[in-house]
Structure 1
Amino acid sequence: MFTIEHEFDATVITLVDEGERPLQEDVTINAFAECVTLEQLDPRTDQVQKITLSPEQLHDLAAALDLPEGVYQLRQVPADQGDQSS
């Protein structure tokens, strides 16, 4: 289950674990124009752990979810080289 809220400066997505036990703590994703943060409570320390991703890192992560094992570098293809069908 997840929720989506649109705030003034960010979109906030909360992922709620509904799988089999043991369940993980909720993950909160804050999407700003300049970065995306992921936050999750660490029950061992009772502190929120935070990871900050640049837009480029988020783009790479999205691409990586659908690729096999390996090393990759994503590059933009110039518009004039995209579709070269005759």
Structure 2
Amino acid sequence: MFSIEHEFDSTVVTLVDEGTAPLQEDVVVNGFEECITVEQYDPRTDRMNKITFSISQMRDLAAALSLPEGVYLRRADDDQSS
């Protein structure tokens, strides 16, 4: 399950793990104009972990999800198609 909320300066997507145990904590993705952050609570350390991706890194990740093993370089014109 997931939810999408549009805030003043970002779009927030929350991914909720469903199914049989063990379940993972919610993942919160914040899409800002200049970057994307991914946050998840870690109950072992009682801390929220955050990773920040540049827009270019997120485009690389999106492309990588559907490609086989290897090393790739996105072309500049690939960015303009999204």
Q: TM-score, normalised by structure 2?
A: 0.91
Q: How does 1:7-86 map to 2 (within 5 A)?
A: 7-77=7-77
Q: What is the alpha-carbon root mean square deviation over aligned residues?
A: 1.3
Structure 1 unaligned spans of 5+: 79-86
**Moved >6 Å (runs of 4+):** none
Q: Aligned residue pairs: how many?
A: 78
- Using the TM superposition, give the Cα deviation of residue 21 of structure 1 relative to its aligned residue in structure 2, in angstroms: 1.2
Larger Rg: 1
Which whole-Å CA distance do the structure 2 matches of 1:57 and 1:77 have between them? 15
Which whole-Å CA distance do the structure 2 matches of 1:50 and 1:76 have between them? 28
One-letter amino acid of the counterpart of residue 63, structure 1: A
Structure 2 unaligned spans of 5+: none
Identity of aligned residues (%): 67
Q: TM-score, normalised by structure 1?
A: 0.87
1:3 aligns with 2:3: yes
